[in-house]
Amino acid sequence: MFPSDLKPEQFNGYPPEARKLVSAYVGVLRGLPLSVLPSLLREAIEYDFKFPAERRALEKELANLDSLSAEQLRDWLQGFAQLHLSAQLEHSDWINAPAQFVEQLSSYLWTTHQLDAFRNAALAYADRLRQVVPPEKPPAPRVGITIIGQGVITNGVPLFRKLRPHGAYFRAVKPENGLQLLLNVVAERAKAHPVPYGHWYIDGGRAAPCDPALTCVSYHELEPVRAVLSGKIRSQIERPGMGPENLRTVLAQLRPEDLGLPTKDGDAVLDRFQVKMLTEGSGTQIFSTTFAQWTAREAISRDQPLRLLVRFAPRQRQKPMNEMLSAGHEVAELDPLGSLIDADMGAYYNWLNLQRLQGAEQSSFLVWFEDHSEAVAIGPSLPRGTESTTAVALDQLLSWAS
Amino acid sequence: MLKVSIDDFKAHARTLSSPDELSVYIVRQLMRQLAPSLLWITMHDIDIAHAGTYSLYIEGIRRTDRLCADVWKTIQSEPEYAGKTTLFILPDFGRDSDDDAGGNGFQHHRTGDALSRTTWMMALGAGVREGVVFDRPMESTDLVPTLGSMLGFSAPLAQGKPIQELL
């Protein structure tokens, strides 16, 4: 089937809001090349479960495509139109399973040496779209906070090496009550700018009490969901012919109800987000540091939050092979020092991902070694690549950075 | 084939920290028992990167680096191989660039950007000039035809070309 054959009733399997959205644009969708349309449908089919910023971006993108003349549309998408697709791809159910189509398309483009051409077409389209539909400016400067090193008593590894050149390194931070001070600041600012899903607290372990003004995700709270998921993964792996790609496809189809996730205050959007972190993330099911980093990445890129506090916690220790061969089913040990190294890199990625958002030049960022005196603060008013031995409380440091 | 009992094999595995170490143990056994002309070793410990844990990724890199050196030392210590063996070491992929928003740093090679598809190969041993760097672009598919030229077999289905600098 080709895009030119599309009919509104073919979207009857979509969730209600998605169906309404896509049906309104069937006319323009018929003019899109098959090499790009399923990518758009992959986003559209999730519309009911998207964050407000994502919804607005998708609506604007479709409206922009709809506003183009046939000739302009061809010009915008000519890079995609020049790609050659297989008959197998053309005959697949790309309307109802666009994500699976995109996976297969990626593999096909790779094997047919068309990946560069696809990538160039995608970059050209994204650049052009950004010119016409620029990303939204934040209503207030963004603030990112990352707390690393929970449970580490002594550390011989130099921290923040990738972040220090971008801000000021403080050696004499007052650690007392640091987590609560930072949570209070984030909650206060959330109340000053009450934007839905605008303010996040992600904890890689057991979360501190969470202010209702914040969107909270905790690895510990998801433990029952992770247990159900692990059982499903085990049973899938035991099936004949099940490989990593097949497993990935199966996991991507799981929904919150499949994993026994109790709807959190009726928040279907957050439930879906959390399940995706576990089913589409790689390593998020096993390592809490990966979960915290990946969840932050996805929250940043999808939701574009105003405030984001990420606290890493110790992940389980990776057992060497000899221990795995000999051991029984004892409780997993933790690896605080390895987790510190993971989180140090994770903090850098959090900053890097926040830098990609609109208004980055006004944003501020703080990374703190929990219960210790080291921190780096980055912000428009702080000098780069400097060090300070001034004794300072964390909330004060954050106000300097902002 | 390895001339090692199952019990001895299992007992030895219990002394090793990773599957790659077990692979290198098997390599040593094969070299001593059978002395094959061509040995292809695939190491997987570094794939822990896909789990997103930077510390374990670094550990995996260090272990693999050490194991490559162990293989080289074994080559030099075995009369069947010393002085007449060429060792090739190459990663199967690059990593996504930190600058590419579609990736997640070191974790994957998914974006299709140049860094994720560009990597290196080291060749050392018999017939290889030491301390020389070749910068011209080569394809990983050039490896098999190169091995064919060195060992005297044809690779009619291979899409690459023999690397002349190594022949």
Task: Note the ipTM here.
Answer: 0.92
B63 CB burial (10 A radius; 0-12, 13-18, 19+): middle
Q: Per-residue pLDDT tens for A163-185?
A: 999 999 999 999 999 999 999 99
B100 CB near a chain A CB, below 8 Å? no
Q: Distance between CA A59 and CA A3 in Å, rounded? A: 20
SS3 labels along B27-70:
HHHHHHHCCCCCCCCCCCHHHHHHHCCHHHHHHHHHHHHHHHHH
**What number is the average pLDDT over the span A124-140?**
95
pLDDT of residue A110: 86
pLDDT of residue A319: 84
pLDDT band for position A252 (cuts 50, 70, 90) = confident
Kindly list the domain boundaries of chain A, sorted by start residue: 3-132, 143-401
* CB < 8 Å to A116, chain B: 112
Distance from the Cα of B47 to chain A's closest Cα (Å) equals 11
Q: Per-residue pLDDT tens for B45-64?
A: 999 999 999 999 999 999 99
**pTM, to two decimals:** 0.93
Q: What is the DSSP letter of A20?
A: H
Tell me the CA distances in angstroms from B9 to A328, A335, A385, B29, one per residue in order: 20, 30, 54, 11
B44 CB near a chain A CB, below 8 Å? no
% residues pLDDT > 70 (chain A): 97
Tell me whether residues A352 and B50 touch, CB distance under 8 A: no
- Mean pLDDT across chain A: 94
- The answer to whether A335 touches A314, Cβ cutoff 8 Å, is yes
Q: Per-residue pLDDT tens for B65-105?
A: 999 999 999 999 999 999 999 999 999 889 999 988 889 99
Q: Is the pLDDT of residue B3 over 90?
A: no
Q: Distance between CA B93 and CA B98 in Å, rounded? A: 15
Q: Per-residue pLDDT tens for A299-353?
A: 999 999 999 999 999 999 998 877 776 656 667 899 999 999 999 999 999 999 9
Q: Distance between CA B49 and CA B61 in Å, rounded? A: 10
Query: Which residue, B26, B23, B60, B66, is CA-closest to B45?
Result: B60
Sign of CA dihedral A383, A386, A387, A388: negative
> Pairing mode, if any, of strands B86-89 and A215-218?
unpaired
Tell me whether residues B52 and A293 touch, CB distance under 8 A: yes
Distance from the Cα of A288 to chain B's closest Cα (Å) equals 9
Q: Who wins on pLDDT, B12 or A322? A: B12
Q: Per-residue pLDDT tens for A198-207?
A: 999 999 999 9
Tell me whether residues A325 and B14 touch, CB distance under 8 A: yes
Tell me the backbone φ, ψ of residue A393, rounded to 5 degrees: -80, 155
pLDDT band for position A197 (cuts 50, 70, 90) = very high
Tell me the backbone φ, ψ of residue A145, rounded to 5 degrees: -130, 135
Tell me whether residues A321 and B10 touch, CB distance under 8 A: no
Distance from the Cα of A290 to chain B's closest Cα (Å) equals 5
* CB < 8 Å to B51, chain A: 282-283, 286-287, 290
Q: Distance between CA A140 and CA B149 in Å, rounded? A: 64
* Of the partner residues A287, A301, A353, the one whose CB lies closest to the CB of residue B53: A287
First and final C-alpha spacing in chain B: 32
pLDDT of residue A300: 98
Listed by number, the residues of chain B in 59-88 with a beta carbon closer than 8 Å to a beta carbon of chain A are none
Q: Is the pLDDT of residue A263 over 80?
A: no
| Chain A residues with CB within 8 Å of chain B CB | 110, 115-116, 118-119, 281-284, 286-287, 289-290, 293-294, 297, 301, 315, 318, 320-322, 325-326, 335, 337-342, 344-346, 349, 352-353, 356
Q: Who wins on pLDDT, A263 or A93? A: A93
Q: Is the pLDDT of residue B2 over 80?
A: no
pLDDT of residue B49: 96
Q: Per-residue pLDDT tens for A238-250?
A: 888 888 778 888 8
pLDDT band for position B26 (cuts 50, 70, 90) = very high
Q: Is the pLDDT of residue A264 over 60?
A: no
